Structure 1
Amino acid sequence: MEEDGSKSPLRLMAEAFKDLAATVNSENPEVEVGTFSHACSLVSPLFGCLGIAFKFAEMDYVAKVDDLAAASKSFLTLQSLLDHDIQGSTVRKPGSHSRNLLRVKRGIDMVKILFEQILATEGNSLKDQASKAYAQVFAPYHGWAIRKVVAAGMYALPTRGQLLNKFNEDENSARMHMETYVAASAPVIQYVDGLFLSKELGVDW
């Protein structure tokens, strides 16, 4: 459905994560902060298309991706960024690059689960799929007030057809790009978790 060879947001997102996955699956994976933040920035339009339910996630996610993009001027790799915060004892400090990295990782994880749910179900409503993705990734870290706003916003989600139209995709092309993203984002998420766990920092905070 893409015209004149132009690439849809969904395709750009899938291709960027496919490249990232190739890096993390290589023999000596060194993920550059700039490459990672650019790939993550391509996910932002999806949050924007999900409407009021994910407005908080969009604002939070975009701000934290922007922070990582700015950090790429000072740090070459995600590993060096994390090491710097460890040395300064600022890993868990609000606004730290490491804390922002963990939250951006949750954003790409939520999209992965959302796509998995969409691929596994029929029908035009996205409410159940989005609710499951939110419950799995974000809800454990959100207070009652935010969870209530999100639950109300689920009724204003676009339909599956509306979402595909916004991305200039048909069912087949969208399925292909979603499958690519799901497969590619899994090792990237695992890699980021591994950076934190290898330093005994944990990921559930």
Structure 2
Amino acid sequence: MAINPHIEEKPMRKMSEAFKSLSNTLNSQNTLDGDVHLEVGPFSQACSLVFPLFRCLGIAFKFAEMDYVAKVDDLAEASKSIATLQLMMERDIEANCVRKAGSHTRNLLRVKRGLDMVKVLFEQILASDGNSLKDPASTAYAQVFAPYHAWVIRKAVVAGMYALPTKSQLLKKLNEDGISAKMEMQNYIDSSASVIVYIDKLFTSRELGIDW
């Protein structure tokens, strides 16, 4: 019998540990001027670890996956020449391109929404009974993505919800059991919250808003 080369991989653990590291980085900075910095490189690397989850959710989140992956790849490329998220945004502000399609700052906002969607999804899964992901996924999509998607995309996502894997199928794809999955989901919820809040503050403190 062929051995799955990825059988020992734990995508959810890698994801939760990476965001725990980012959260620790943010919480460890006690600067007199209140400035807190997060490096683009570690941030984009942590975000890339969410890719397997999006892929496992299937067609319902295909649009989100494609958009998220492209935006994270852009931030990874930006990390080669820009040290921190704060500096990245300041450069875009100086260049007057913050809201332009393809700008690093616009892409950061889209990536943040992807992280937020996963956080809400995990919260809903932990709060729900049964084996279906339809309600948790529908709630996460409605809260985070739906307000920014055209009707055609929203309709396609709703149709795709019927092709979602079950909770047990998802965990099997991610090489997790129920107990370990709950722990990793909660770890991600807790650690990603501070990262999401930090990014929101980067936008709101510069009066850029987060609803565009």
Alignment TM-score > 0.5, same fold: yes
2:3 maps to what in 1? none
2:154 is matched with which residue?
147
What displacement does 1:25 show? 1.6
| One of 115, 121, 136 as aligned partner of 2:143 | 136
Give me the whole-angstrom Cα distance separating, in 2, the residues matched to 1:144 and 1:64: 22
Q: State the shift of 1:6 in Å.
A: 4.4
Moved more, 190-199 or 20-29: 20-29
Runs of 5+ consecutive residues of structure 2 not aligned to the other structure: 1-6
- How do 1:19-58 residues align onto structure 2 when only pairs under 5 Å count? 19-26=21-28, 27-28=30-31, 29-58=36-65
Aligned residue for 2:121? 114
Counterpart-to-counterpart distance in 1, 2:179 and 2:129: 13
2: CA distance between counterparts of 1:60 and 1:24? 26
Measure how far apart 1:167 and its partner are: 0.7
| 1:186 alignment partner in structure 2 | 193
Deviations 1:42-86 (A, max 9, x none): 011111000000001110000000000000011000000000000
The answer to whether the aligner puts 1:165 opposite 2:172 as a matched pair is: yes
Is the 2:9–2:175 Cα contact (8 Å) retained in structure 1? no
- For 1:49-128, list aligned pairs within 5 A: 49-128=56-135
Structure 1 residue 11, shift from structure 2 partner: 0.2
C-alpha distance after superposition, 1:159-185 (max 9, x if no partner): 000000001110000000000000000
Letter in 2 for 1:21: S
Report the secondary structure of 1:128's partner residue: helix
Please, which moves more after superposition, 25-34 or 161-170?
Answer: 25-34
Structure 1 ranges of 4+ moved more than 3 A: none
Q: How many residues align structurally?
A: 201
User: Taking every aligned residue pair, what percent have the same amino acid on both sides?
Assistant: 68
User: What amino acid does structure 2 have at the position aligned with 1:58?
Assistant: E
Q: Provide the residue aligned with 2:11 in structure 1.
A: 9
Q: Distance in 2 between matches of 1:20 and 1:155?
A: 35
Contact 2:15 2:188 (C-alpha < 8 Å) held by counterparts: yes
Instruction: Name the amino acid aligned to 2:183.
Output: M
Normalising by the residue count of structure 1, what TM-score does the alignment of the two structures yield? 0.96
Q: CA deviation at 1:7?
A: 4.6
**TM-score relative to the length of structure 2:** 0.93
CA positional deviation for 1:30: 1.3
Task: List alignment gaps of at least 5 residues for structure 1.
Answer: none
